């Protein structure tokens, strides 16, 4: 019969497995949001430029950027939070249960990959790509609309300004959650 410590350790290891499963699913979902966003951009732009009467469709692009960008950001934050929990909390719990201070040798990847010499450069590049995809593209959609429809109705102008403000807020949030730090 397993001891209490062995049972607790087994629970921690199952927790680790479930967290890694969730992290993997979220990574796949998050990464697919980029492709979905690009596909929707193509469809909306194709429709919008097919006829002058369709120019108002360009106002859909900022909403696509906001909705999919926010989902991207939320999933990215959860991916980061899971990794942080594993590195800072779960590893410590397992250390206490096993009495082994070298637990990093077991969970080495969780810690080592954050110390890569090129990590910060990759994270900055990803931050730029995220800003281009979800913020800049939405703003370009608004600018294209303003160029093609220079005097829209007042309510449409209000909508455009709301979209612009929300895109800026999303851009700030993307920077805040960029996780550029090295190490643990």
Q: What integer is the mean pLDDT of 113-122?
A: 82
User: What is the model's pLDDT at position 161?
Assistant: 96
Is a pLDDT exceeding 60 seen at residue 184? no
Res. 135 pLDDT band, cuts 50 70 90: very high
Q: What integer is the mean pLDDT of 162-171?
A: 98
* pTM score: 0.86
Tokens of 90: 């779960």
- Find the radius of gyration of the CA atoms of the chain: 22
Contacts of 19 (CB under 8 A, 6+ apart): 82, 85, 86, 90
């Amino acid at each position: 019969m397993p001891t209490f410590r062995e049972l607790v350790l087994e629970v921690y290891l199952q927790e680790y497995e479930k967290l890694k499963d969730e992290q993997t699913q979220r990574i796949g979902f998050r990464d697919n949001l980029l492709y979905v966003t690009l596909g929707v951009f193509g469809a909306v732009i194709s429709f919008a430029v097919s006829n002058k009467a369709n120019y108002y469709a360009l106002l859909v692009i900022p909403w696509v950027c906001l909705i999919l960008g926010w989902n991207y950001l939320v999933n990215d934050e959860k991916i980061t939070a899971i990794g942080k929990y594993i590195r800072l909390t779960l590893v410590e719990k397992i250390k206490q249960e096993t009495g082994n201070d070298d637990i990093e040798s077991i969970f080495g990847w969780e810690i080592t990959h954050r110390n890569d010499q090129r990590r910060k450069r990759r994270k900055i590049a990803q931050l730029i790509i995220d800003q281009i995809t979800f913020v800049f593209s939405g703003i370009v959609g608004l600018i294209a609309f303003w160029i093609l429809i220079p005097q829209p109705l007042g309510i449409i102008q209000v909508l455009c300004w709301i979209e612009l403000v929300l895109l800026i807020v999303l851009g700030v949030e993307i920077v805040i959650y960029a996780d550029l730090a090295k190490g643990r």
